[in-house]
Amino acid sequence: MGAVNPNDVIRNEILQYFYDRNANATSRFGKKGSAVKISDVKRELKTEHGLTQQQVMSNLTYLIDRGWVKTVEQEKTVQVKGGTVPSVVTWYEIAAPGIEKLEGESEFKPQDRFAGININATGSNVVTLGDGNVVNVRYEELHRGLDELKAAVAESDQMSNAEKLDVAADIESLKDQLAKAEPNKGVVRALWTGIERVVTIAGLVDVAVKVGVLIAPLLAG
User: Does the residue 109 lie in any domain?
Assistant: no
Same-domain pairing of 96 and 124 = no
Assigned domain for 113 exists: no
Model-wide pTM > 0.85: no
**112 within a domain of the structure (yes/no):** no
Q: Is residue 114 part of a domain?
A: no
Domain at 31, CATH number: 1.10.10.10
Q: Is residue 110 assigned to a domain? A: no
pLDDT at res. 130: 46
Indicate if 94 and 126 belong to the same structural domain: no
214 pLDDT band, cuts 50/70/90, is very high
SS3 for the chain is: CCCCCHHHHHHHHHHHHHHHHHHCCCECCCCCECCEEHHHHHHHHHHHHCCCHHHHHHHHHHHHHCCCEEEEEEEEEEEECCEEEEEEEEEEEECHHHHHHHHCCCCCCCCCCCCCCCHHHCCCCEEECCCCCEEEHHHHHHHHHHHHHHHHHHHCCCCCHHHHHHHHHHHHHHHHHCCCCCCCHHHHHHHHHHHHHHHHHCCCHHHHHHHHHHHHHHHCC
* Domain of 37, in residue numbers: 6-103
Could you tell me if 133 and 215 lie in one domain? yes
Which pLDDT value is given to residue 125? 67
